[in-house]
Amino acid sequence: MVEISLEIPTYNEAGNLPVLIDRLEGLNLDLEIIIIDDNSPDGTYEVAERLAQQYKNIKTLKRPGKLGLASAISDGLKLASGNYVAVMDADLQHPPETLLKMVEEAKKGNDIIIASRYTDKGRIEKFGFIRRLTSKGATFLTHALLRETRSVKDPMSGFFIFRRSILEGKKIESSGYKVLLELLVKSGSETKVTEIPYVFGKRTLGESKLTVGENLKFISLLLMLSHYRPVKFITVGIVGILVNEGLLFFLHTYFAMSLLFAGMTSIETSILTNFLFNHFWTFRDRSVGGWVRGVLKYNLVALPGAIINLLTLLKLSAITHYLIANIIGIILAFAVNYLGSEMIVWGRAKRR
């Protein structure tokens, strides 16, 4: 049987909460509702208490102060008794009616059901240019860094249902907004994930709590969930530069090898050592599908990076110092190499 506990985290949502609860109660869904309030100055908790007296399926939790969305979800989970847990915002930007379809998908046996702004008829009613861009940019970065999210169109969604057992023995570690990312990464490859389109509405009352701080938390969550792969990749890259320079010096000065051959040898050697370091360290939980293939692919991925590096150096040196132009070129090449490594060279999980 599918029993659903619906978590609603609130911070200053006194005006929105009664409207949301009325609409939810009208849906004829068998829900347990858990409202987690962080001692909102606008008295949201008192509103929640009143609603809990009116409707028997409501539980409330009051925390001492604003401790963040993810930890509210994680604390609310302790009160949940359903075998599925749903999470939605209190501000009516998530239409309660979408839950009907989502619950249907849970009944079909799906493990994670995501209300999605980016599938089929899903969309956003009103976002400013900057917010739209950050949303798309964040989704792109997430897809690039976390392969477990690549099949999901809206991994940044804050409206979803999950089978409670996928968190068994694990806990929510993030403190920011993106609990769904953690679920997707931690739930393993057998998880059945599906998306239901919805229209992310306008906020009519109160204001968004999504701040610059939240965006920084998102970046650190991405790094944590990716096991700091970009950082490791940069470290390997720096080691590669040392190998390249060192070998060039050795071959050219001590062995009097021509610059062309010494250069080619040291470039290729550093590509190979980088490949090995990345294989056994950065991407140790990934597969290349055979050594020869892996090395060839890695060389192929290094090529466009090198071309971009060179073109940037040539173009930008007209307007700035050539060493600065080269650094910008190196950074761009790094980004291209990293994406290629994530998606093409080490694109698959290791079989266990």
Site for Mn ion in 162-221 (CB under 5 A): none
Query: Which is nearer to ligand GDD, 16 or 270 (by Cβ)?
Result: 16
Alpha carbon distance 155, 195 (integer Å): 10
Which segment (43-51, 83-91, 149-157, 297-305) binds Mn ion by CB under 5 A? 83-91
Dist. CA 273–CA 239, nearest whole Å: 9
Q: Which stretch binds Mn ion (CB under 5 A): 50-58, 86-94, 106-114, 254-262?
A: 86-94
Output phi, psi for 187, to 5 deg: -85, -10
Among Mn ion, ligand GDD, none, what binds residue 72 when CB lies within 5 to 8 Å by partner kind?
ligand GDD
Cβ distance to ligand GDD smaller for residue 23 or 209? 209
Interacting residue with Mn ion among 91, 105, 154, 195 (CB under 5 A) = 91
Residue nearest to ligand GDD (CB): 158
CB nearer to ligand GDD: give 89 or 182: 89
What angle do the packed helices 259-277 and 291-316 form, to 10 degrees? 120
Closest CA to 175 of 63, 60, 66, 37: 66
| In the block, residue with structure tokens 């968004």 | 208
Q: How far is the CB of 24 from ligand GDD (least distance, A)?
A: 13
By beta-carbon proximity to ligand GDD, the closer residue of 76 and 294 is: 76
Minimum gap (Å) between residue 342 Cβ and ligand GDD: 23
Please write down the long-range contacts of 169-176, taking CB distance under 8 Å and 24 or more positions apart: 171/74, 172/70, 172/71, 172/73, 172/74, 172/77, 173/224, 174/70, 174/217, 174/221, 174/224, 175/68, 175/70, 175/71, 175/217, 176/68, 176/69, 176/70, 176/214, 176/217, 176/218, 176/221
CB of 52 to ligand GDD, least distance (A): 16
Would you call 124 helix, strand, or coil by DSSP? Answer: strand
Question: What is the spatial order of strands in the sheet that 58-62 belongs to?
Answer: 58-62, 31-37, 4-10, 84-87, 160-163, 112-116, 193-197
Q: Which is nearer to Mn ion, 91 or 342 (CB)?
A: 91
**Tokens coding 59:** 């539980």
Give me the residues that bind ligand GDD (CB under 6 A), please.
9-11, 13, 36-38, 66-69, 72, 89-91, 93, 135, 156, 158, 177, 208-210
List 5, 16, 44, 93, residue binding Mn ion (CB under 5 A): 93
Nearest residue (CB) to ligand GDD, 140 versus 255: 140
Measured from the CB of residue 129, what is the shortest distance to ligand GDD in angstroms?
A: 14
The residue count for binding Mn ion (CB under 5 A) is 3
DSSP state letter for 120:
T
Tokens of 309: 């590096």
How far is it, in rounded angstroms, from Cα 216 to Cα 194? 28
The piece of 7-15, 43-51, 93-101, 166-174 that touches Mn ion (CB under 5 A) is: 93-101
Residue with the two structure tokens 């001692």: 39
In the bound state with ligand GDD, the residue whose beta carbon lies nearer, of 107 and 202, is 202
CB of residue 207 to ligand GDD, shortest distance in Å: 7
Give kind and range of the element (H or E) at residue 8: strand 4-10
Query: Least distance (Å) from ligand GDD to the CB of residue 326?
Result: 38
Least distance from C-beta 46 to Mn ion, angstroms? 21
Helix 291-316 with 322-340: angle, nearest 10 deg? 150
Contact status: 265 vs Mn ion (CB under 5 A): no
93/98 with CB nearer Mn ion: 93
| Shorter beta-carbon distance to ligand GDD: residue 158 or 329 | 158
Distance CA(133)–CA(135), nearest Å, equals 5
Q: Which does 177 bind (CB under 5 to 8 A by kind): Mn ion, ligand GDD, none?
A: ligand GDD
Contact of 62 with 35, CB cutoff 8 Å: no
Residues engaged in binding Mn ion (CB under 5 A): 89, 91, 93
